[in-house]
């Protein structure tokens, strides 16, 4: 493993790029700089042109990009058929997908008002998708692999307004642990971890009521007096994808200026 290019020769799947502010895009840049070849998705026609343009201008005109909507088994199957036309193995996969509808109680207001359909949809997109994508990618991880999912601290303690997304993240983190136990026992082990990012200004984050005020809280309370940068998330994801983290699985790694350790 070269220290300069720790992911040289590795192939990665990056899910969750919507635009240049997406955490997935920041992590993809780090993986690319570390020497990896990447395959991307976009979610549906609305994002198609923008994501293809962004990804191919940044990572090369022949960078593979394919539609993937995690609510559909057909779409997942089609995406991995596409992946198989581009590579015979995958070494790492980033899950950076989350959604909660802007319905009563979901991302603001009373938690007790969350409707059943909204709950089911959010858990399906934000949490179950890790199971479905891990199952689909596992046969391609012929040399073992590293899967990582983006999560947030609201899974552990109440963060006002995170409501339904907090429940989805708690489920996501538990899915990651059980997947780590299951897939780690293969002859070629697959590791599964979560990166718990402090607040970052992105499209998804803006959906949470009062999100921008969170930066001030992190400045006041976290040991490092700030949240995190995209480059720091990229460096953590590169470490998790690299052989240097070979014994690390089932963990939630906080990249949040240390906010997680603070009691009050």
Do 63 and 31 form a contact (C-beta atoms < 8 A)? Answer: no
**Among 56, 58, 71, 209, which residue interacts with ligand NAD (rule: CB under 6 A)?**
71
Nearby residues of 107 by Cβ (< 8 Å), 6 or more positions away:
100, 161, 162, 163, 164, 165, 207, 208, 209
How far apart, in whole angstroms, are the C-alpha atoms of residue 94 and residue 83? 14
Do 254 and 222 form a contact (C-beta atoms < 8 A)? Answer: no
Q: Does 18 bind ligand NAD (CB under 6 A)?
A: yes
Task: Build a one-symbol-per-residue string for 83-122: x at contacts with ligand NAD by CB under 6 A, - elsewhere.
Answer: -------------xxxx-----------------------
In the bound state with ligand NAD, the residue whose beta carbon lies nearer, of 16 and 64, is 16
In the bound state with ligand NAD, the residue whose beta carbon lies nearer, of 10 and 169, is 169
Catalytic annotation present for 128? no
**Among 13, 14, 17, 148, which residue interacts with ligand NAD (rule: CB under 6 A)?**
17
Q: Does 197 bind ligand NAD (CB under 6 A)?
A: yes
In the bound state with ligand NAD, the residue whose beta carbon lies nearer, of 144 and 229, is 229
**Among 155, 193, 202, 238, which residue interacts with ligand NAD (rule: CB under 6 A)?**
202
Span interacting with ligand NAD, options 6-14, 82-90, 203-211, 241-249, rule CB under 6 A:
203-211
Q: Does 252 bind ligand NAD (CB under 6 A)?
A: no
Catalytic annotation present for 152? yes
Give phi and psi for 39, each to the nearest 5.
Answer: -125, 135
Strand partners, 144: 142
Q: What's the farthest any 2 CA atoms get from each other in the chain?
A: 52
Question: What angle do the packed helices 163-183 and 129-137 form, to 10 degrees?
Answer: 30
Smallest distance, Å, CB 202 to ligand NAD?
3
Which of the residues 132 through 191 are near ligand NAD (CB under 6 A)?
150-152
3 state SS of 202: coil
The catalytic position among 152, 153, 254, 259 is 152
What are the Cα distances from residue 214, in Å, to 1, 145, 183, 261? 39, 34, 36, 16
How far apart, in whole angstroms, are the C-alpha atoms of residue 189 and residue 183? 6
The catalytic position among 42, 162, 218, 254 is 162
The residues binding ligand NAD (CB under 6 A) are: 16-18, 22-24, 43, 47, 68-71, 96-99, 125, 150-152, 197, 199-200, 202-205
Residues with catalytic function: 152, 162
């Amino acid at each position: 493993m070269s220290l300069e290019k720790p992911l040289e020769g590795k192939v990665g799947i990056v899910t969750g790029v919507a635009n240049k502010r997406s955490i997935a895009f920041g992590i993809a840049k780090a993986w690319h700089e570390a020497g990896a070849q990447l395959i991307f998705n976009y979610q549906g026609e609305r994002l198609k042109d923008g994501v293809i343009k962004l990804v191919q201008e940044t990572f090369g005109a022949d960078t593979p990009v394919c539609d993937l909507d995690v609510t559909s088994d057909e779409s997942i199957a089609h995406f991995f058929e596409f992946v198989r036309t581009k590579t015979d193995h995958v070494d790492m996969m980033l899950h950076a997908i989350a959604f909660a509808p802007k319905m009563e109680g979901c991302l603001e207001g009373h938690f007790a008002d969350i409707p059943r359909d909204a709950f089911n949809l959010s858990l399906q997109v934000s949490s179950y998708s890790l199971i479905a994508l891990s199952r689909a990618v596992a046969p391609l991880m012929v040399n073992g692999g590293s899967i990582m999912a983006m999560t947030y601290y609201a899974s552990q303690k109440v963060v006002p307004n995170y409501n339904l997304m907090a429940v989805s993240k708690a489920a996501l983190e538990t899915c990651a642990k059980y997947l780590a136990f299951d897939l780690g026992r293969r002859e070629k082990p697959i590791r599964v971890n979560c990166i718990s990012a402090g607040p970052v200004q992105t499209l998804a984050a803006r959906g949470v009521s009062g999100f921008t005020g969170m930066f001030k809280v992190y400045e006041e309370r976290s040991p490092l007096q700030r949240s995190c940068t995209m480059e720091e998330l990229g460096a953590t994801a590169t470490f998790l994808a690299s052989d240097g983290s070979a014994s690390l699985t089932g963990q939630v790694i906080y990249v949040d200026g240390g906010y997680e350790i603070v009691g009050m």
